[in-house]
Amino acid sequence: MDQTTFFSCLEKQNKVKQLFLHCTSPEEKYKKLIEIGQNLTPISPTAKVPENAVSGCQSLLYLSACYKDQKIIFTAASDALISAGLTALLIMVYSEESPEVVLKCPPHYLQELGIQASLSPSRSNGLANIYLRMKQEALKFLALNIK
């Protein structure tokens, strides 16, 4: 993987961090998270199938991935605003990236923003499961690309 590809991921992480610059309290971060979740690109209704459900989330969350031009495109839907926001934060960084980037560019920006520290244990677990699912999809597409 070349450095410019990895740079794209870090650049997107910095853009997400910029969205939270003026959020000084946990309440403001939650409001921003909800706002971001409300702008989540809708998932196709046909993608709301059991195999796209992310286990370990407090709410019902679907994550779909497709592979186009050697990039993964993620879409998602959640019945809870916080879960939608958390998912959107990951999609903003990892969608339209290569499988290698998804696997090798961890979401350190979430910790830097203090997002994980303000989550309940079950929501934090759900966030980890969403990222795990993204990495599983990346591995699947990487394996297809190697063959």
Crossing angle for the helix pair 81-94 and 121-146, to the nearest 10 degrees = 30
Q: Is the pLDDT of residue 147 over 60?
A: no
146 — pLDDT class (breaks 50, 70, 90): low
| Average pLDDT value for residue range 123-142 | 94
Contact indicator for 72, 98 with CB cutoff of 8 Å = yes
CATH number at residue 12: 3.90.1010.10
57 is catalytic: yes
For the entire predicted model, the pTM comes to: 0.92
Domain count, the chain: 1
- Give the C-alpha distances (Å, rounded to integers) separating 147 from 65, 74, 141, 142: 19, 22, 10, 9
What are the tens digits of pLDDT across the range 71-120? Answer: 999 999 998 999 999 999 999 999 999 999 999 999 999 999 988 777 88
Where are the alpha helices (H) located in 67-120, listed in sequence order? 81-94, 99-104, 108-113
Query: Which position among 23, 57, 66, 105 bears the catalytic label?
Result: 57
Domain boundaries, position 15: 3-146
pLDDT score of 4: 62
Helix (H) or strand (E) holding 50: none
Residue ranges with strand state E in the chain: 61-68, 71-78
Rounded to whole angstroms, the Cα distance separating 139 from 131 reads 12
pLDDT score of 69: 93
